[in-house]
Amino acid sequence: MEHGIKPSYPRIKILEYLITKRSHPTVDEIYSNLVKEIPTLSKTTVYNTLNLLISANIVRVVASEENETRYDADVTSHGHFKCEKCGAIYDFRIDVGALKTDDLKNFKIKEKNVYYRGICEECLDNIENKI
C-alpha cells in the first residue's frame, strides 16, 4: 500500500471498498458489508484503518452538518452534495481555487471543503411523477 502503510488484508479491503463503492460510506456501512467477507473483522479495525488512511492523506472525511462521519478515498478537490430525501452524497466538480478569500490572506489553508444540501435530480423526478 502507498505511503508506507503495510497492506494487511483488512486494510486493503477497506480501502478497496471506499475506492470501488464511492458512496462516502459510514464506518457502519463499511463494517456491515465487509464482515460478510471477513467474518473476524472488528469495528475497531475499521476505525483504526480509516484513521490511519486519513493521517496518510489517502482518505478524507466528508464535511457535513450531520453527526455522521463519512469517508472518501477521492482526495482530489471536489464538492459534496447531500440529498435530504434519499441521503445520498454526490460528488461534483468545482473550482474552489477560483474563490477569493482576502479575509484569510495571512492564514495557512490546508484543506478546503464545499458541502451543499438539497434535493437530488432523481428525487425531484420522483416527486414530479407522483403528481
Partner DNA sequence: TTTAAATTTGTAATTATTACATTTTTATTA
Partner DNA sequence: TAATAAAAATGTAATAATTACAAATTTAAA
Is 80 exposed, middle or buried (CB count within 10 Å of its CB: 0-12, 13-18, 19+)?
buried
Which of the stretches 34-42, 81-89, 91-99, 113-121 binds DNA when contact is defined by CB under 7 A? 34-42
63 versus 88: smaller Cβ distance to Zn ion: 88
CB of 76 to DNA, least distance (A): 23
Contact, 123 vs 130, CB < 8 A?
A: no
Instruction: Name, in order, each residue with C-beta under 8 angstroms of 61's C-beta and a sequence gap of 6 or more.
Output: 54, 69, 70, 71, 72
Which residues of this chain interact with Mn ion, rule CB under 5 A? 72, 74, 91
Q: Does 5 bind DNA (CB under 7 A)?
A: yes
Amino acid code (one letter) for 99 = L
What's the number of CA atoms in the CB half-sphere (13 Å) around residue 84?
Answer: 8
Identify what 56 binds: a second copy, Zn ion, Mn ion, none; CB under 5 to 8 Å per kind: none
Q: How far is CA 61 from CA 48, 66, 91, 99, 102, in A?
A: 14, 12, 13, 22, 26
Which of the stretches 44-52, 76-84, 99-107, 115-123 binds DNA when contact is defined by CB under 7 A? 44-52
Among 4, 121, 128, 130, binds a second copy (CB under 8 A): 121
> What mask of x and - would describe binding to Zn ion in positions 32 to 71, judged by CB under 5 A?
----------------------------------------
Work out whether the CA dihedral 76, 78, 111, 118 comes out positive or negative. Answer: negative
According to CB under 8 A, which residues from 13 to 42 bind a second copy? none
Among 10, 48, 61, 77, binds a second copy (CB under 8 A): 61
